Structure 1
Amino acid sequence: MTTDSAGRRLAGALHRRPRLRLGLLLAAPLTWLLVAYLGSLAVLFLSAFWTTDPFTSDVVRSWTTDNFRTLLSAPVYRTVALRSLGVAAAVTVIDAVVALPIACYTALVAKPSRRPLLVVALLTPLWASYLVKAYAWRIILANGGPLDWALGPLGLHSPGYGLTAVILVLAYLWLPYMILPIHAGLEQLPANLLDASADLGARTWRTVRSVVLPMVLPSVAAGSVFTFSLSLGDYLAVQIVGGRSQLIGNLIYANVTLNLPLAAALGTVPVVAILLYLLAVRRSGALRSL
């Protein structure tokens, strides 16, 4: 069989079998996912069972569970882990509360001709550098800064640097990742459902509570996956506006050079937390209609 005829037969098989063609197209990205992403996670988990030389800080590839025992026994690690989970949950709740009315306006209330412009406006903050936005918030939250000037006449003051500042900054940074899925979900909401609710005598808030919110719940769940995971793994915002506060990302960064196996063990904490969160969201059925 010649090369040309073999090529024509393969092309014909691909044309007749869409599944085979799709499988070949996905082979390269799936291979990359398995090797680069899952492979790196496997190496991370494996290195968490190693130890370090106490004098040279060199990694010693001897099997031990001391790093995980340290995580479970040392109160500081438990405290930081719970604090990190609390910050991620708070950011997710704040973003959901803020994103819902914004997405309702952009998807349902605004004129159709203006909706693309509003979506572009929502995406605009993502074009700016992470560090630029974080340091801008550092200036805003500083004592005697712009927020103090604005709140001064009301008898209030800036929260300064700390956990409150971290939650505020992270909620601002990841807000577009919550708005966009909700906006997309609301755009797919059938208009006849809203008309039927109005015809049955339901007022605006009753329609929102009984019709809109149940339909948009999968989109909120999808957005929460982004905000929760990104907040749980963040460490730069804590360094910039966190003051003396520490999250799990900071402990990982601090131990990378001094105790790599311990840093790897710490790194498994957000990975396991995110996997459990994804499993909980999936088991709730919130993602089935996405």
Structure 2
Amino acid sequence: MSPVASPSLGRQALGSRLSSLFWRHPRLFTLLLLLPPLVWLGVVYVGSLFALLLQSFFSIDEFSGLINQEFTLSTYAELLRASNLDIIIRTVVMAAAVTLASALLGFPIAYYGARYARGRWKAFFYVGVMLPLWSSYLVKIYAWKMILSKEGILSWLAAKLHVSGVLDAWLSLPVVGGNSLSVSATGTFLVFVYIWLPYMILPIQAALERVPGNLIEASYDLGADPSKTFRHVLLPLAMPGVAAGSIFTFSLTLGDYIIPGIIGTSRLFIGQAVYTQQGTAGNIPLAAAFSVVPILIMSVYLWAAGKKGAFDAL
């Protein structure tokens, strides 16, 4: 055997032995495949969450502005102050409203895509749903800011339809209104729904496509009208998709700070509070405590969504 061919044959023999080992022990091969992402997840993600949780149990010295690294619950007690509690409630209410509106808008769209779109129309449907995701996140938000502004197309359309009085009356309301749609909670809500709606449509459509058509036909044959078929057959089977879509819309709204910073009033959301406390105020423990709030809320939400079979539709 020549010395040149020897290393090549050695590598082939090693590869053959490894292939045999992985064939005899498939779980070992799976473990080796999963080990790098698991290590990355454990070190970077779980490690950062642990550091965040640890910071939330510290406090900041009011006189020096330095972090006092002694275990305390005083930082979490600050979350119960009226101003901070108002931020948490506002964010959760907005996330729930966006999730509900996305489900109501997304269900009929997803039903059309699952039951009626075929062939080329199916491709057009997917393109139409995914198209908003192909453009820049910031570009979409600033485009909506122009649309919702006092000189925007919605105000112009309201004037043409002679319903400007209705729009002005809505904007005069204390909680949802403002000087214009672009500086109101209503505008924030509209942009949230627009941005996250595709994340609701696609899981619902996937769930609806799993519903056998003969179940709906059997419901009609047994004398059920369309409303009863929807309530007792279609909706229960589609609920895993609704729950899966709600995970996306609720969690993304809960943690977003860019949309409320560009469109809406000066009232803060949780994401903005974290950014402000960490960057401007330099109160890292309070920022960490604010960050823990969405984690706790989503933990409970994921548990409830899992009971509805949401993870079967992801």
Q: Using structure 1 for the length normalisation, give the TM-score.
A: 0.92
Q: Distance in 1 between matches of 2:119 and 2:198?
A: 20
Alignment partners' CA distance in 2, 1:136 and 1:224: 25
Q: CA RMSD in A?
A: 1.9
Which residue identity lines up with residue 262 of structure 2 in the other structure? Answer: I
Deviation, 1:195, is 2.1
Contact 2:75/2:289 (CA < 8 Å) preserved in 1? yes
Which residue of structure 2 lines up, in the alignment, with residue 101 of structure 1? 108
**Map of 1:260 onto structure 2:** 284
- Return 11-20 or 231-240, whichever deviates more: 11-20
8 Å CA contact 1:162–1:244 kept in 2: the answer is no
Partner of 1:127: 134
1:230 aligned to which of 232, 242, 252: 252
Opposite residue 49 of structure 1, the aligned amino acid is: F
- 1 CA distance for matches of 2:57 and 2:275? 18
- 1:279 paired residue among 274, 281, 303: 303
- 2:87 maps to 1:64: no
Give the alignment of 1:83-232 within 5 angstroms: 83-152=90-159, 153-155=161-163, 156-157=166-167, 159=171, 160=181, 161-232=183-254
Tell me the distance in 2 between the aligned counterparts of 1:82 and 1:285: 25
TM-superposed deviation, 1:7: 4.5
Shift of 1:50: 2.1
The code of the aligned residue for 2:210 comes to Q
Q: TM (normalized to structure 2)?
A: 0.85
Shift of 1:163: 1.7
Cα distance in 2 for residues equivalent to 1:20 and 1:285? 33
Q: CA deviation at 1:276?
A: 1.1
How has the CA–CA distance of structure 1 residues 37 and 141 changed in structure 2, closer, same or farther, with 3 Å as cutoff? same
Partners of 2:308 and 2:28 lie apart in 1 by 30
Classify the secondary structure of the residue corresponding to 2:310.
coil
Distance 1:78 1:124 in 2: 37
Equivalent position SS for 1:121 = helix
Tell me the secondary structure at the aligned position of residue 256 of structure 1.
Answer: helix
Measured in 1, the distance between the counterparts of 2:151 and 2:12 equals: 76
Between the two proteins, the alignment pairs up a number of residues equal to 287
**Unmatched segments (≥5 aa) in structure 1:** none
Amino acid at match of 1:38: V
Aligned residue in 2 for 1:17: 25
Amino acid in structure 2 at the alignment position of 1:30: L
Post-superposition Cα deviations, 1:135-154, rounded to whole Å, max 9, x if no partner, equal 11111111232111112224
Moved more, 159-168 or 254-263: 159-168
Q: In 2, are the aligned partners of 1:141 and 1:165 still within 8 Å (CA)?
A: yes
CA distance in 1, matches of 2:139, 2:221: 49
What amino acid maps onto 2:236 in structure 1? P
Q: Which amino acid aligns with 2:157?
A: A
Q: Distance in 1 between matches of 2:67 and 2:135?
A: 38
CA distance in 1, matches of 2:83, 2:125: 44
Corresponding residue number in structure 1 for 2:177? none
Q: Which of structures 1 and 2 has the bigger CA Rg?
A: 2
Q: 5+ unaligned residues in a row in structure 2: which ranges?
A: 1-9, 172-180
Percentage of identical aligned residues: 41
